[in-house]
Amino acid sequence: MEEGSGDLGRELEEMREYYVTGTTRQESWRRAQLKGLLRFVKENEDPIMDALGRDLGKHPAEAYRDEIGSSIKSLNYALDHLKAWMSSKKAKLPKIAILTKAEIISEPLGLVLVISSWNFPFGLSLEPLIGALSAGNAVVLKPSEISPICSSLLATRLINYVDAKAVKIVQGGPTIGEQLLRYRWDKIFFTGNAQIGRLVMAAASRELTPVTLELGGKCPAVFDRISSSFERKVAVQRVLGAKFSACAGQACIGIDYILTEKSLGATLVDTMKSMMEKLFGKNPKESRSIARIVNRNHFLRLKNLLDDPVVKATIVHGGSMDEHNLFIEPTILMNPPLESAIMTDEIFGPILPIITLQNIEDSINFINARPKPLAIYIFSKNSSLKRRMVKETSSGSVIFNDALIQYLVDTLPFGGVGESGIGQYHGKFSFDAFSHPKAVARRSFLVDLWFRFPPWNDHKLQLFRSAYEYDYLGIVLTVLGLNKPRGASSKV
C-alpha cells in the first residue's frame, strides 16, 4: 500500500464503501476470512519462524508456542464459536411489558484500525484481526516497523489469504502511525506502551472513536514459601521460563520482578541458578533458547538500567552483555534500590530483580503502592494469602502458580486496568471488542396502557406508581376505582 496521504485517504474511502455493501457482515464472509488466516499460518510456518528468528532471534519452538500455535488455537476457537457469537441474545422482560420482544444484536462497528507491537508481531496482529473479522468489520492493520521482516511478511503474504477489499496492511513507523490516526475510525485497537497509548486515545477522542489499549506495566511475581523441594523447583522453572524464555523478557505479561520473604531469598537464588543451567546451559550465549534484544535502542536502554553502579552491585547472577549480537545474559539482581530506574520503569528485558520483604503479606501493600499491572503472579500454597491477593490487589489478571499461560485461555478476558490498559480481548471478548451491542425492542400496535397519555391527573399518577412497582394488584384496584390515589403536592 502506498504511503502518500492522498492515496491513503482514497483507499480508506473505498474500504468504507465496500463495508457499506454489507459483504463483511455475512457469516460466510467472516468464516472465509478466518479460514484464510488459518491457512496463512499453517502454510507459512517456516517463513514465520524464519522471520521471527531474524527479527528477534526466537527459536522455532518458542515461535510456535507463543505465536503460531496460539494463533491456530484461537482461529479454531473462533471458527467453532462464530455462529453462537453472531446470534442475537434475547433479553428478559418484566411482566408489565406485555407484547414486547427485546433482544441484543451484535453488529460490526465499521472500519477499524489495529496497531500491533514488535515483540509478538504475528500473535499480536492475528489475535485482534480474529476479533475484527469475526465481528464483520473492515480492518487496517499496522504492524510494528521494529520487527521489519515479520511486518513485511504480513504485508506481502497474509493479504493473499483474505479479502483485500476489506483488509489492508500498512507498513511504516511513527510517521505512518500518526497519519493513520488522523483519519476517522470506528474503533482503534492498540498494543504497545502507555505513552503512545495516551496519544492514540487523545487522537481517538477527536472522532469519538472507542479504543482498546493493551499496554504494559511491571508485572510482579510473589514467591511464597513452598516446602516441597519438587514443587519449589517446578515453581522456579515456571518463573524462569516466564521471565527469560518468552522473547527474553520483552513481553507485556512477562514477570518484571519478584517479591519474596527475606528468609527465602538465598534459597530462591540458589534454586534459580541451578535451574538456569538446566534451561540455558553453561553458556547461555550459545543456547539457541534465548531471544535477542530487538534493537540497539532497547539494548542501550537495558544496559543503562544495569550500568547504574548501585544496581550493578546487586547482580547475583549473569550480567554479561554483547552489544554486537544484541545479547544480554539472563541476569538476577538481589534488592536493587526501589528508586532506581530498574524498579520504576517497565524492564522489558532479561533482567530479574528480586525484592525481599519482611513478610510475604507485605507484597500486597507493595503492589498497591504502584500502578495496576497487566498481571500479578503468585506462587503459593497458602489459601488465605491467595484469597487476600485476589481481594486486595487490582490487576488485569491474577495467576496462581504459573505465568503467561493466561494468554492461551480463550475463556478468560485478556486486558489491563488503570495504567495497564482499557478493554479486553481473546475468545468471545475479541468479538465483543469489535462489536456494537444494539438493543432492539419490538411492540405491536395492540394494547397501550391508557394512562400512558396526557392530560395528566392524580389517578394516572397512581397507576404509574403501581406500574413501576410491578404492583399488578394495585393497578387493578386503581383502575376499578378502589384505590385512593396518593395526591401530588401541587395540582396540575
Nearest distance from C-beta of residue 485 to another protein, angstroms:
12
Interactions with another protein, residue window 390-449 (CB under 8 A): 390-392, 394-402, 405-406, 408-414, 417-419, 421-424, 436-445, 448
For another protein, the closer CB: 83 or 206: 206
Q: How far is the CB of 324 from another protein (least distance, A)?
A: 23
Binder to another protein among 1, 32, 79, 201 (CB under 8 A)? 201
Strand runs (DSSP E) across 251-404, as ranges? 257-261, 315-317, 321-322, 327-328, 331-334, 351-357, 375-379, 397-400
How does DSSP classify residue 435?
Answer: E
Please, what is the minimum distance in Å from the beta carbon of residue 363 to another protein? 16
**How far apart are alpha carbons 310 and 455 in whole angstroms?**
80
Pairing mode of beta strands 375-379, 111-115: unpaired
- Is the Cβ of residue 205 or residue 297 nearer to another protein in the bound state? 205
- The correct pick among 325, 368, 472, 476 for binding another protein (CB under 8 A) is 368
CB 466, min distance to another protein, A: 10
The nearest distance, CB 319 to another protein, in angstroms, is: 20
Residue 311 CB, nearest distance to another protein (Å)?
Answer: 26
> Total residues at the site for another protein (CB under 8 A)?
111
212-271: contacts with another protein (CB under 8 A): 213, 215, 228, 230-231, 234-235, 237-238, 241, 245
387 binds another protein (CB under 8 A): no
Q: How distant, in Å, are the alpha carbons of 47, 240, 290, 403 from that of 63?
A: 11, 18, 11, 17
The single-letter DSSP state of residue 344 is: H
Choose between 133 and 375: whose C-beta lies nearer to another protein: 375
d(CA 70, CA 180): 28
CB of 360 to another protein, least distance (A): 18
Contact yes or no for 213/117 (Cβ under 8 A) = no
In this structure, the strands spanning 100-108 and 89-90 are antiparallel
Taking CB under 8 A as the binding criterion, the range among 260-268, 339-347, 352-360, 457-465 that sits at the site for another protein is: 457-465
What is the widest separation between alpha-carbon atoms in the chain?
93
Q: Are 161 and 37 in contact (CB under 8 A)?
A: yes
Please report which residue ranges of 318-456 form alpha helices under DSSP H.
341-344, 362-368, 383-392, 428-433
Residues annotated catalytic, as ranges: 214, 252
Cα-based distances in Å from 447 to 12, 188, 260, 452:
48, 45, 68, 11
Query: CB neighbours (10 Å) of residue 448?
Result: 10
Footprint of another protein on residues 153-172 (CB under 8 A)? none
- Over the window 286 to 325, marking each residue x when it contacts another protein by CB under 8 A and - when it does not, the resulting string is -xxxx-----------------------------------
C-beta closer to another protein: residue 1 or 72: 72
Strand 321-322 to strand 327-328: parallel, antiparallel, or no bridges (unpaired)? antiparallel
Q: Is there binding between residue 205 and another protein (CB under 8 A)?
A: yes
Cβ proximity to another protein: between 30 and 305 the closer is 30
| Closer residue to another protein in complex, CB, 155/221 | 221
Q: Taking the complex as a whole, how short is the minimal distance between the CB of residue 7 and another protein, in angstroms?
A: 25
Alpha-carbon Rg for the chain in angstroms: 28
DSSP state of 318: -
Q: In the window 108-147, what residues touch another protein (CB under 8 A)?
A: 109-110
Of residues 31-70, which lie at the interface with another protein (CB under 8 A)?
Answer: 42, 59-62, 64-65, 68-70
Looking at the Cβ atoms of 354 and 463, the one nearer to another protein is 463
* Cβ atoms within 10 Å, residue 231: 13
- Tell me whether residue 138 or residue 155 sits nearer to another protein (CB atom): 138
Q: Which of 347, 365, 355 is nearest to 221 (CA)?
A: 355
Q: Which stretch binds another protein (CB under 8 A): 86-94, 173-181, 304-312, 349-357?
A: 86-94
Stretch 12-31 residues interacting with another protein (CB under 8 A): 20, 22
CA distance 338 to 267: 22
Nearer to another protein, 140 or 463 (CB): 463
Return d(Cα 119, Cα 295) in angstroms, integer.
11
Q: Which of 128, 210, 249, 353 binds another protein (CB under 8 A)?
A: 210
User: Segment contacting another protein (CB under 8 A): 9-17, 94-102, 142-150, 319-327?
Assistant: 94-102
Q: Which of 91, 98, 266, 310 binds another protein (CB under 8 A)?
A: 91
Is 79 a binding residue for another protein by CB under 8 A? The answer is: no
The CB-of-112 to another protein minimum distance in angstroms stands at 12
First to last CA, the chain: 67
Residue type, 157: R
- In terms of DSSP H, where are the helices of 169-295? 174-181, 194-206, 229-244, 265-280
Q: Single out the residue of 204, 221, 333, 354 in contact with another protein (rule: CB under 8 A).
A: 204
By beta-carbon proximity to another protein, the closer residue of 6 and 454 is 454
SS3 for 401-425, per residue? CCCCHHHHCCCCCECCCHHHEECCE
| Single-letter amino acid code for the residue at 81 | H
Least distance to another protein, CB of residue 341, Å: 21
| Residue at grid coordinates 523478557 | 249
